[in-house]
């Protein structure tokens, strides 16, 4: 069974631009969560989608948004990028909310 | 709110040494507890989990016991290998928060041959 895939693996953007990251969950998994990992703040929860609905949201500004499609694939978007948005963005999928989560390799975003 | 506290790192051990990584938590409900491991350049892998008090999670020689009385979930391994070098994260999931995981800061383990 294929694991969680994330594209692209690496991105370099300029301050003020916007970016879209993609996550394909394990086949059959309906829950997708997103996390931001930085050296200073560690791993922080962004949001979770289940059956195309946002079910939970972390403490991030409205510039961070996401969506989930009917095939459970998910995208997250960051608008008006800031230098502090440079991070590893991890996506995780699970069968449903209370089951084990499986993480993808992440997308490394660098904002210059 | 929920929080996880891990011991400060990094930790450097010789091969075959005993490993303990401390983890304590604060939660309003009865959380599930996890240890995740991250190898360089990779995402997180679930190492082990425990879903209720006194449960012991184990995998690949690693063990951790859910201690409700001390709100702890310390990770142990009797004999570490060079291949265990990685970053280890303790995490909790509150049943009322669906999939949201709250992580500790992580600790880097380096094992010398």
Question: What single DSSP character describes residue B82?
Answer: G
Contact of B97 with chain A, judged by CB distance below 8 Å, is answered with yes
CA distances from B68 to A59, A63, B19, B24, B61 (A): 28, 38, 22, 10, 23
Nearest to A48 among B41, B99, B106 (CB): B99
Report d(CA B7, CA B12) in Å as an integer. 13
Closest chain B residue to the Cα of A40, Cα to Cα: B105
Residue A95, pLDDT > 90, answer: no
Set of chain A residues whose Cβ sits within 8 Å of the Cβ of B36: 103
pLDDT in tens, A9-61: 999 999 999 999 999 999 999 999 999 999 989 999 999 999 999 998 999 99
**Is the distance from CB of A56 to CB of A35 less than 8 angstroms?**
no
A103/B103 Cβ within 8 A: no
Give me the pLDDT at residue A1, please.
Answer: 67
Task: Summarize pLDDT for A61-80 with one digit per residue, the tens.
Answer: 999 999 999 999 999 999 99
pLDDT exceeding 90 applies to what percent of chain A? Answer: 88
Which helix (H) or strand (E) covers residue B34, if one does? strand B32-38
pLDDT 10s per residue in chain B (113 long)? Answer: 889 999 888 999 999 999 999 999 999 878 999 999 999 888 899 999 999 999 999 999 999 999 999 999 999 999 999 999 999 999 999 877 667 899 999 999 999 99
- Using DSSP's 3-state secondary structure scheme, residue A8 falls into coil
Helix or strand or coil: residue B96? helix
> Among all residues of chain A, which has the CA nearest to that of B100?
A45
Closest-approach residue (CA) in chain B for A107 = B43
Question: Three-state SS for A97?
Answer: coil
Q: What is the pLDDT of residue A96?
A: 74
pLDDT single digits (tens) B83-100: 999 999 999 998 776 678
């Amino acid at each position: 069974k294929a694991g969680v895939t994330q594209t692209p693996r690496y991105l370099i953007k300029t301050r003020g631009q916007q970016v879209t990251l993609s996550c394909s969950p394990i086949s059959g998994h309906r829950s997708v969560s997103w996390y931001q990992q930085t050296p200073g703040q560690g791993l922080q929860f962004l949001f979770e989608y289940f059956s195309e609905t946002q079910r939970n949201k972390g403490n991030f500004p409205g510039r961070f948004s996401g969506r989930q499609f009917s095939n459970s694939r998910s995208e997250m978007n960051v608008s008006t990028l800031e230098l502090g948005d440079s991070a590893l963005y991890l996506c995780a999928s699970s069968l449903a909310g209370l089951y084990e989560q499986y993480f993808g390799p992440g997308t490394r975003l660098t904002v210059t | 709110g929920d929080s996880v506290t891990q011991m400060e790192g990094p930790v450097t051990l010789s091969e075959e040494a005993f490993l303990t990584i401390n983890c304590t938590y604060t939660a309003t409900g009865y959380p599930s507890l996890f240890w995740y491991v991250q190898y360089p350049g990779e995402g997180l892998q679930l190492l082990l989990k425990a879903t209720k008090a006194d449960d012991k999670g184990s995998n690949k020689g690693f063990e951790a016991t859910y201690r409700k009385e001390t709100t702890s979930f310390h990770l142990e391994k009797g004999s570490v290998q060079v291949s265990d070098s990685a970053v280890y994260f303790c995490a909790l999931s509150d049943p009322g928060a669906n999939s949201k995981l709250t992580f500790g800061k992580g600790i880097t383990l380096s094992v010398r041959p």
